[in-house]
């Protein structure tokens, strides 16, 4: 069979300085790859866009290697097996893995994980039942260790991770306060997800005051997705023995200079507080435990998840850039193929 040049790809053509824009990306077309023995050919269904990818656009050592210039962007992707040269996967199976932003990929059997579409829609494997859910689960429970009756504050509360963190904290019997960037998000957190309070940091006259009101007993756990001045305000309210899982710092990712702010060590010191950076991969050997629990909560309707879906591979850069404008409520996905058969 002659290879066809019908594999559209989003490649990185420029490393951004400060805020990235569409000029960093380019849509190209290449040959559809052919699977070798032990590999599957996958047709992309959904692409996950995530804030941490901003760091990978820099040519700088971090916890994940930088994206390479002139190569496809990559990250969490759901694919459908359209050809299999493996024993374990067959045509029609859905899998999730770290794959390129393109129409077609090949992957070894061990490089992807088969999705059970009976538990939840397949897209959940990039969200509540994927890295997003596991990030919320381990960051909150393993580092934050919320106890019944404690106050948990989450920033980026209406984002993919934040929505789940708040709900898990509610399951654990905590008072949950979310910080988000629009009235629509705030309403969603309280009305739909059962947060005890939520604050629109963009419209509130005084964030410190609003937080003090929402957290009359101080803050025991602060799950931080955003950093910057929002975090300054929360850290000012921490209680003795507070725990601060550091999940993201999206407010700082596009800073061109080293961000400056009030030193936080005095607050951590005088409160015997803990701050711990993490990435979900630190918990790789416990992913099974996390998925089982998250699936159980979904089934029991204790956990809901929101998705924003943009259609079309060509719109993946737009979806990604939207994260930094706070456009998404819940998980931002890009749908690439038509609805699965």
- Considering the rule CB under 8 A, would residue 17 count as an interface residue with a second copy? no
- How near is the Cβ of 239 to a second copy at its closest, in Å? 11
275 makes contact with a second copy (CB under 8 A): yes
Please count the residues of this chain forming the interface with a second copy, following the rule CB under 8 A: 35
Q: Would you call 5 exposed, middle or buried from its count of C-beta atoms within 10 A (0-12, 13-18, 19+)?
A: exposed
Best CA proximity match to 95, nearest among 130, 65, 66, 139 = 130
Q: Closest approach of Cβ 201 to a second copy, in Å? A: 17
Q: Is 239 in the site for a second copy (CB under 8 A)?
A: no
Span of 181-189, 190-198, 221-229, 322-330 interacting with a second copy by CB under 8 A: 221-229
Q: What does the block give as tokens for 115?
A: 């999705």
Residue 18 in tokens: 């400060």
Of the pair 1, 260, the CB lying nearest a second copy is at 260
Least Cα distance to 29 among 339, 336, 313 occurs for: 313
Supply the minimum distance, in Å, between the C-beta of residue 218 and a second copy: 11
Please report where in the chains the tokens 């629990």 appear, as a residue: 293
Residue whose CB is less far from a second copy, 148 or 263: 263
| 274 forms part of the interface with a second copy (CB under 8 A) | yes
Contact with a second copy (CB under 8 A) among 27, 119, 204, 246: 246
**278 vs 178: CA distance, rounded Å:** 20
**Cα–Cα dist 45/36, whole Å:** 21
Which candidate, 19, 129, 31, places its Cα nearest to that of 78?
A: 129
Q: Kindly identify the residues of this chain, within the stretch 102-121, that bind a second copy according to CB under 8 A.
A: none
Name the minimum Å distance from CB 12 to a second copy: 20
Distance CA 181, CA 172 (A): 25
Question: Cβ closer to a second copy: 182 or 239?
Answer: 239
Rg of the chain (C-alpha set):
20
| Shortest distance, position 228 Cβ to a second copy, whole Å | 8
The least CB distance from residue 96 to a second copy, in Å, is 23
Stretch that binds a second copy, among 150-158, 197-205, 244-252, 314-322 (CB under 8 A): 244-252
Binding of residue 18 to a second copy (CB under 8 A): no
Among 51, 79, 144, 248, binds a second copy (CB under 8 A): 248
Q: Does 269 bind a second copy (CB under 8 A)?
A: yes
Encoded one letter per residue, x for contact with a second copy by CB under 8 A and - for no contact, window 61-100 reads -xx-------------------------------------
Q: Give the x-and-dash track for 39-58 against a second copy (CB under 8 A).
A: ----------------x---
Helices 228-235/207-214 angle, 10° precision: 50
By beta-carbon proximity to a second copy, the closer residue of 58 and 315 is 58
Q: Measuring CA to CA, which residue among 261, 256, 331, 279 is closest to residue 18? A: 256
User: Does 249 participate in binding a second copy (rule CB under 8 A)?
Assistant: yes
The answer to whether 278 contacts a second copy (rule: CB under 8 A) is yes
Interatomic CA distance for residues 84 and 205, integer angstroms: 58
Distance CA 130, CA 136 (A): 10
Q: How far apart (Å, rounded) are the C-alpha atoms in residues 236 and 99?
A: 41
d(CA 317, CA 336): 13
Q: In the set 282, 293, 315, 337, which binds a second copy (CB under 8 A)?
A: 282
Can you tell me the distance from the alpha carbon of 28 to that of 312, in angstroms, rounded to the nearest whole number? 14
Determine if 228 is a binding residue for a second copy (CB under 8 A): yes
- According to DSSP, residue 3 is labeled P
Judged by the rule CB under 8 A, the positions of this chain that interact with a second copy are 55, 62-63, 224, 227-228, 231, 240, 246-249, 252, 258-266, 268-279, 282
């Amino acid at each position: 069979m002659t290879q066809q040049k019908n594999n559209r790809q989003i490649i990185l053509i420029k490393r951004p300085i400060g805020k990235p824009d569409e000029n960093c990306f380019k849509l190209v077309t290449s040959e559809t790859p052919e699977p070798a023995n032990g590999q599957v050919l996958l047709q992309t269904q959904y692409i996950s866009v995530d804030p941490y990818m901003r760091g990978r656009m820099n040519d700088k050592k971090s916890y994940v290697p930088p994206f390479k210039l002139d190569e496809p962007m990559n990250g969490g992707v759901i694919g459908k097996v359209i050809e299999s040269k493996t024993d374990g996967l067959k045509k029609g199976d859905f899998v999730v893995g770290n794959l390129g932003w393109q129409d077609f990929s090949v992957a070894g059997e061990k490089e992807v994980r088969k999705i059970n579409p009976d538990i939840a829609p397949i897209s959940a494997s990039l969200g509540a039942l994927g890295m997003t859910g596991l990030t919320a689960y381990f960051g909150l429970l393993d580092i934050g260790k919320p106890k019944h009756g404690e106050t948990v504050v989450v920033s980026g509360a209406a984002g993919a991770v934040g929505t789940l963190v708040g709900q898990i904290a509610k399951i654990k019997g905590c008072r949950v306060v979310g910080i988000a960037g629009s009235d629509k998000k705030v309403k969603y957190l309280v009305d739909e997800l059962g947060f005890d309070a939520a604050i629109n940091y963009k419209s509130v006259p005084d964030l410190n005051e609003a937080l003090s009101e929402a957290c009359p007993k101080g803050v025991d756990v602060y799950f931080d997705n955003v950093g910057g001045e929002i975090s300054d305000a929360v850290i000012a309210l921490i209680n003795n023995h507070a725990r601060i899982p550091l999940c993201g710092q999206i407010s700082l990712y596009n800073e061109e200079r080293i961000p400056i702010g009030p030193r936080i060590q005095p607050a951590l010191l005088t409160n015997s507080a803990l701050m711990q950076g993490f990435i979900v991969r630190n918990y790789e050997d416990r992913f099974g435990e996390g998925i089982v629990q998250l699936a159980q909560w979904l089934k029991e309707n204790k956990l809901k998840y929101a998705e924003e879906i943009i259609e079309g591979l060509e719109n993946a850069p737009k979806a990604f850039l939207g994260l930094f404008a706070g456009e998404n409520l819940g998980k931002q996905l890009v749908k690439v193929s038509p609805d699965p058969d």
